[in-house]
Amino acid sequence: MATVSPISTTGTTGASSVSSALDKTEIASNFTTFLQLLTTQLKNQDPLSPLDTNQFTQQLVEFAQVEQQMKSNDQLTSLVSLEKSAVASTALAYVGATVVVDGSTAQLTNGTANWNFNVTKPSTATITIKDSTGQNAFTGTAAVNPGTQAFTWNGRGNDGRLWPNGSYTLTATAVDANNQSVAISTEVQATVDSVDLTQDPPQLSINGQNYTLDKIKRIVRPTT
């Protein structure tokens, strides 16, 4: 049996590093060499035909600009590293939390699988649920009201057979009282099982599916 009810919304890099280090060493070495040459030239210039100081000034400015750019790059690298660390910490905080994401695949556990519907007007939804192999497990209709509605399937097919635990995908279409199509979206409410920090950005594992942090629509506070 499937039921629909209102829902509460409470609740690589190594090579790059070596290259960067070599660049810094080369820039520093060249700058030091330039200053030594400049000092030597100034000491030994012909008083009757002095060297062009404007040219020296321009070269100094160019070296200074390169040095500033290198420092800016270092700072940006540090900021990116801090940002990644903050995102990883945020992602880890979701482990064990019950969240809602846009999706259509839910887990049937002990005869219960849950989805949410969203429609803009009173409608009749035609629902089809399939298992992970694509086999049709249940087909039926349900009345849905505007807003977010909780839909619960008890795991029994149209023939009364209880389907085994696992992943099930729901598809739904809706029509209003005049038999006109109504947009309907599905959400999945489940616990965040784990976080894959090797991905950029980190991936949250929810109902066997991977989601990024921006896909989370809300967090549901556990009922007591």
- 76: which DSSP letter? H
* Confidence category of residue 148, pLDDT binned at 50, 70, 90: confident
Contacts with 52 (C-beta within 8 Å, 6 or more apart), sequence order: none
- The percent of residues in the chain predicted with pLDDT above 90, rounded, is 30
63 and 56 Cβ atoms separated by less than 8 Å: no
Q: What is the pLDDT of residue 14?
A: 46
Q: To the nearest whole number, what is the mean pLDDT of the chain?
A: 80
Q: What is the pLDDT of residue 98?
A: 87
Q: Residue 224 carries which side chain, given as an amino acid letter? A: T
Map tokens 């090797």 to a residue.
Answer: 198
Class of domain 95-220: mainly beta
100 and 117 Cβ atoms separated by less than 8 Å: no
Out of 25-29, 70-74, 207-211, least confident range? 25-29
pTM summary value: 0.57
Out of 46-50, 69-73, 77-81, 140-144, least confident range? 46-50
Using CA atoms, how far apart are residues 176 and 174, in angstroms rounded to an integer? 7
